[in-house]
Amino acid sequence: MARKKRVRKKQSQSPKKSKWDQYLMLDWKEFYLILITWFLFVALHILIGIIIGRKENVLPVIIEWIIPIFLIISILYTMWKRKRK
């Protein structure tokens, strides 16, 4: 009786992606998506101001702080990770 040899599949040697990579690594598609979203928030803020006649309190915080800070951090993280490779 001939025994069959078990062949082990080689596991890929790719490093594990951290949760930071999932949220902060950008490719061009994601970069443009964030940029378009930013412009849409600006347009929405202006339209709400025109339609309602008063200033919105939440959108300026998103427009002026959250999206630009996320974009800057993501670009720096992406450049750092790609330079390390």
- The predicted-structure confidence for 51-62, as pLDDT tens digits, reads as follows 888 877 887 888
Residues 6 or more apart in contact with residue 35 via CB below 8 angstroms: 71
* Residue showing tokens 């999932």: 22
What pLDDT is stored for residue 56 in this prediction?
A: 74
- Indicate the pTM of the whole model: 0.65
- The predicted-structure confidence for 21-71, as pLDDT tens digits, reads as follows 877 888 889 999 999 999 998 888 888 888 888 877 887 888 889 989 999
How many Å from the N-terminal Cα to the C-terminal Cα in the chain? 50
Average pLDDT over residues 3-29: 71
Cα angle 39-79-13, degrees, rounded to a multiple of 5? 120
Half-sphere exposure of residue 24, counting CA atoms within 13 Å on the CB side? 18
